[in-house]
Amino acid sequence: MSRFLFATWDGAGNLVPTLAVARRLARAGHDVRVLGHRAIDRRLGAHGWRFRPFRRTIDVDSTAPADPGGGMLRPAQDLWVARSVAEDVQEELQREAADVLIADCMLFTAMSAGHAVRIPTIALFHAAFALFRRGPLVDLISSLLPQLNAVRADLGLGAVERLSDVHDACAMSVVATPREFDPPVPLPPNVCFAGPLLDTPAPLAAGGSAGMHTGDRPLVLVSLSTSDQGQMPILQRLIGALSSLHVQAIVTTGPAVDPAALAPSAHVQVVRFVPHREILPHAALVITHAGLGTVMSSLAAGVPLLCIPFGRDQFYNASRVEALHVGAIAAREADDQTLRAHVERLLFDEDARVAAARFAAVIRGYDRGIAAVQAIEHLARRAPLALECAE
């Protein structure tokens, strides 16, 4: 048995691969702890792991109404390069040792804390790898390098020139996407593409059910984030657009939106939660904000996507969906008529269906990330690493 400490945060979609790996390791008989925000435990509970709350780091609940001020820089300052996260990680490791630290790829001071105490550290990527090598996200949060390097100096570590230097110093960087989803970028030797890691436990208070469609109406799944991103107006417009089409639709709102706040129609059901794996085998189209979990789940089932990105990594994910010809992009401000036209076109787009089916075959080739989890177990035993999952 090996001992694993996960350091994560309540960013909603980032928990999908994190808790999938945590549960797999726990089921394999390892001792697993998850360190993070209390809302994670309240919403998802423990599934073989022991939960440890942050004690110094600011409290975050992704289902709470979004704060319009500060944008991406607020979590970057208060979490991703925060001194408190490093202190929480080090205190937890002092309280109880671990063989491996697995940290969310955005918690740069958590990874740095692991490096400082010389524990094998894994960066777990819940977003596409290329996002952290170049582009708008890197440009935005690189302004926080002085804050990160001040924390690293206090930890007895040298300064880094790029945020990616922290990832590259890890024993492994495990990426929860197929290599084929990323555009070509130079890869450091520690990268392991696991493919989608989607077997995350359902929320404790999920509830809800939805009847599968019968007859000749194509089934459309609408899923626009489990966190509050101001999605109410576009959700209602989507219901209006779908109500005027010859489809059956299931709208899942997640914990951030009360289904009762939306007006359904005869052929549009609104529920808080239904496991997407139950719907996707029957679906003809998924309409999503382009969170990575929903994108990967849909492509694993070979279902085309209509992406309506709000922010975060969603514009990047949507652009990859378009580049891979497995779906299309609509603006968040799109009216009912425009949304209807997008849906009608994609429902009859044979090229998109064929491309989505091909990508589903690519995802099956990753065998649910088994090779990546085995590599993590090898690292805990200090066994030589052979990252076949990077091939």
- How much of the chain exceeds pLDDT 90, in percent? 69
Distances, alpha carbon 81 to alpha carbons 51, 61, 73, in Å: 22, 18, 10
Tokens in use for 360? Answer: 């589903």
More confident residue, 156 or 258: 156
Task: Report pLDDT for 124.
Answer: 98
Q: Tens of pLDDT along 28-49?
A: 999 999 999 999 999 999 999 9
Q: Tens of pLDDT along 94-148?
A: 999 999 999 999 999 999 999 999 999 999 999 999 999 988 888 888 899 999 9
Of all helices (H) and strands (E), which one includes residue 174? strand 172-175
Angle at 275 between CA 340 and CA 314, to 5 degrees: 55
Amino acid residing at 288: T
| Whole-angstrom distance, CA of residue 308 vs CA of residue 318 | 8
DSSP per residue, 24-35: HHHHTT-EEEEE
Helix/strand/coil for 336: helix
Task: Report pLDDT for 211.
Answer: 63
Task: Report pLDDT for 385.
Answer: 54
How many other C-beta atoms are found inside a 10 Å radius of the C-beta of residue 184? 7
Q: Tens of pLDDT along 166-208?
A: 999 999 999 999 999 998 889 999 999 999 998 888 776 555 5
Lowest mean pLDDT among 173-177, 301-305, 330-334, 386-390: 386-390
How many other C-beta atoms are found inside a 10 Å radius of the C-beta of residue 208? 16
Structural domains of the chain, ranges and CATH numbers in brackets: 3-195+367-390 (3.40.50.2000), 219-364 (3.40.50.2000)
Task: Report pLDDT for 275.
Answer: 85
* Sign of the CA dihedral with 106 first, then 112, 113, and 115 last: positive
